[in-house]
Structure 1
Amino acid sequence: MKLVQIAGLAATAVLLAACGSGQVGGSGGTPAENSKRLTLIPGVQAEPFYISMHCGAQAEAQKLGYTLDTSAPQKFDAALQTEKVNALGSNPPAALLIAPTDDTAMLAPIQQVASRGVKIVEVDTSLKDTSVAQSSISSDNTAGGQLAADTLAQLAGGQSGSVLVLDTIAGTSTTNARAAGFEEQLKKYPNLKSVGIQFTQNEPDQAASKVTAALASTPDLVGIFATNLNTGEGAATGLRNAGKVGQVQLVGFDASPSEVEGLRNGEYQALIAQDPAMIGQQGVQQAVAALEGKPVTRNLTAPLHSITKANMDANSQYFYKQSC
């Protein structure tokens, strides 16, 4: 990642923190004020996916007469996210929108908040236990993985070879589903065979190392599927360092500014873009419906889009933001 991008993301982290600092419902908020206060706890600070989600949620909350504050962990980590959830205990919001960073480890802290009467809406990721949240809004991640496999097969154009799948962390519901969907769909293409799923702990440098190792051990590597932004950026770095950009087809998931730039300059051959702003918007809608005693939809699915260099300009509305 270029230094200017890092600087931009750092600045956005400050922006996200500031989004919650002036909202009603901080320390000392009254019960009446808190009844109109929503809190969003995304998976991690400064990722364009979650920034775009925040923007969609913030706009919808304002439209519906609610305030929204955002508190994001510095890393995609259950322990760090648990700290953010636990911090709500002294002054809970009316509803919590959360992207659980682990589908099991985050159950207890979220249950603790829910026990205080807080409505829970899952955005992007979800818990295995379906009894806690009023609603879950996510992309169809299995279908996203399948779309990635179809896209990679088209890019390969009949070429035979091996394919590497880079996932984030075991227990992350969204990316695990993408990897599984990809693996299953790839079986439909006899010219392509998977060398398995490797986890990167959501760290770009680990993804780059996995790619370097795979290039050395798998001479017929023709494709890589990276299940999220960080794995994609790391994979692009690994290919760039090895001089294999464009020789190995890289399909990424998400459409961050750096990924879009990579698609335009040929480091990626395709991106599977989500619609995080819609996820945030629908998350607020479902939270407000739950608070106001209106019908709530238990599961909602946001659309996905396969974007290549050829069609990227026509699909620019799906590129993720770095600020609202």
Structure 2
Amino acid sequence: MKRIISTVLCVSVLLCMTGCEKKKESAVAFDPAPPFSALTEIKEGRKDVYLIIKDLESSYWRIVVEGAKAGSVDFDCNLYYSGCNNESDWESQSRLMDEAVTAGADAILLSPNDSVKLSEKIDEVYSKGVRIVLVDTAANTEHYDVCYMTDNLMAGQLASEEMMRQLRSKGYSDDEKLEIGVQVITTTSQTINERLAGFLQYWARYAPDNWTIISDIKYNDGDIEKGYECAEELLRDYPAMKGVFGTNNSSAFTLASVLKKHNRKDIALVGFDYSAEIAELIEDGDYAVSTVLQRQYEMAYEGIKTALELTEGKEIEQKFVDTGIVVVNAENYNDPDVLEALDHNRG
């Protein structure tokens, strides 16, 4: 019964949040995405690959750019890139795809800002013979070649397991009543929805009955200031809250910043990706903080390699390639395998 209730909660919350986003979309104005820039020396006779990322200012996406650049050097292609100023700006990505096709792109590496609304444009571009490799996030269409990404359902489950471990490490008993707050970036990303679903599924199955998820799930719409506001609201409105889950980079580091601001060492945090704010609390040792580290450098690097192979006629059997994750916390952040994974995420 508990699992059923949690699943219903997940679905109802997502539907509610999606409805709220639709009401606000028309009022949101984004700075336009800049023109494509060359990341490599441009040479005649080489294939032209165009990289379109979600957020030009994000440390996570800068690592994606670095991985793609390294791949373009190693596998000998011209690489151009652009992206958005906000992860909710799917319309700029649609325009950039058109610009890449007009410029003669042989392949496009795309991280969709909206898995549903961009599907029609992806279909259109794919039908023109341009090879499409998705990075980090899948789209609601079959008309792309391959997607390099995290197994986000599994990652959400691991995050849920890690949250329980951190809560117990802080001394909370299974009989104690406590609440868990959640902040997400958006509900239009398949990636985020799968992480949240995995987290809630695992929680419904294994968490003590007295440990509950706050139904007031916050979303920041890719706006950092809104992320801070969401974190402050959770702390203010839910005094029984002893854990917070951030489903992506901006959600996690805004939660970390607010916990540090209020010296809330009693609240466990589990997030995604790596930032200075997360690293500081992990290394502090007095905070119960973990992060699910993705391998976005490898996503982009392998994406470039595969894109070029596709332009040469190679057939790709796998539609999805799981690039793996590493859970980082105070107990393991100096382990050799974790340090190796962190090297790329530090840039």
- Give CA-to-partner distance per residue, 1:73-97, whole Å, 9 cap, x none: 1221212222322322321311001
Q: Distance in 1 between matches of 2:101 and 2:346?
A: 29
For 1:57-96, list aligned pairs within 5 A. Answer: 57-76=68-87, 77-96=89-108
* Contact in 1 for aligned 2:52/2:110 (Cα 8 Å): yes
The alpha-carbon distance between structure 1 residues 119 and 17, as it changes in their structure 2 partners (threshold 3 A), is: closer
Where does 1:170-185 land on structure 2 (aligned, <5 Å)? 170-185=187-202
CA contact (8 A) 2:278 2:289 kept: no
**Equivalent in the alignment of 2:339:** 316
Q: Please name the residue that 1:10 is paired with.
A: none
Cα RMSD (Å): 2.4
Q: Which residue of the other structure, out of 183, 198, 201, is the alignment partner of 2:218?
A: 198
Q: Which blocks of at least 5 consecutive residues in structure 1 are unaligned? A: 1-12, 25-29
TM-score by length of 2: 0.80
Distance 2:98 2:200 in 1: 37
Distance 1:186 1:234, change over 3 A: same
**8 Å CA contact 2:37, 2:82 repeated in 1:** no
3-state secondary structure, aligned to 1:71: strand
Aligned residues between the structures: 301
Q: Which residue of 1 aligns with 2:129?
A: 117
Where 2:214 maps in the other structure, the secondary structure is strand
Match of 2:271 in 1: 252
Structure 1 position 295, deviation (Å): 2.9
Question: 2 CA distance for matches of 1:198 and 1:176?
Answer: 13
User: CA–CA distance in 2 between the matches of 1:80 and 1:269?
Assistant: 35
Indicate the residue corresponding to 1:141 in structure 2: 152
Give the aligned partner of residue 319 of structure 2.
298
Once the two structures are superposed, the pairs formed by residues 269-308 of structure 1 within 5 Å of their partners are: 269-296=289-316, 297-308=318-329
Alignment identity in percent? 21
In the superposition, relative to structure 1, how do residues 153 and 142 fare at CA in structure 2: closer, same or farther (>3 Å)? same
Counterpart residue number, 1:101: 113
After TM superposition, the structure 1 stretch with the greater mean CA deviation from structure 2, 153-162 or 210-219, is: 210-219
Amino acid corresponding to residue 141 of structure 1 in structure 2: N
Aligned mates of 2:320, 2:122 — CA distance in 1: 18
Distance 1:67 1:94, change over 3 A: same
| Structure 2 residue 181 is the aligned partner of structure 1 residue 164 | yes
State the shift of 1:193 in Å.
1.0
Query: Contact conserved, 2:156 with 2:197, CA < 8 A, in 1?
Result: yes
Q: Please tell me whether the aligned partners of residues 100 and 122 of structure 1 are also in contact (alpha carbons under 8 angstroms).
A: yes
Query: Superposition pairs for residues 206-285 of structure 1, below 5 Å?
Result: 206-241=226-261, 243-265=262-284, 269-285=289-305
Q: Partner of 1:319: helix, strand, or coil?
A: helix
Query: Is residue 140 of structure 2 the alignment partner of residue 128 of structure 1?
Result: yes
CA contact (8 A) 2:126 2:143 kept: yes
Contact 1:51 1:321 in 2 (8 A): no
Residues 137 and 150 from structure 1, CA distance in 2 versus in 1: closer, same or farther, beyond 3 angstroms? same
- 1:303/1:183 CA distance change after superposition, 3 Å: same
**Contact 2:40/2:73 (CA < 8 Å) preserved in 1?**
no
1:19 Cα offset (Å): 4.6
In 1, the alpha carbon distance for the partners of 2:279 and 2:72 equals 29
Distance 1:295 1:210 in 2: 45
User: Equivalent residue of 1:23, what SS?
Assistant: coil
Taking a change above 3 Å as real, the CA distance of residues 322 and 304 of structure 1, as seen in their structure-2 partners, is closer
Compared CA separation, residues 317 and 245, structure 1 to 2 (3 A): farther
Post-superposition Cα deviations, 1:248-301, rounded to whole Å, max 9, x if no partner, equal 111110013443234223566111100111111221222122111123132100
Query: Once structures 1 and 2 are overlaid, which stretch shifts more, 134-143 or 213-222?
Result: 213-222
User: C-alpha deviations, 1:67-121, integer Å up to 9, x for none?
Assistant: 2221111221212222322322321311001000001111223233223321001
Q: Distance in 2 between matches of 1:133 and 1:17?
A: 21
Aligned amino acid, residue 52 of structure 2: I
Aligned equivalents of 1:96, 1:116: Cα separation in 2 = 12
1:51–1:322: 8 Å Cα contact kept in structure 2?
no
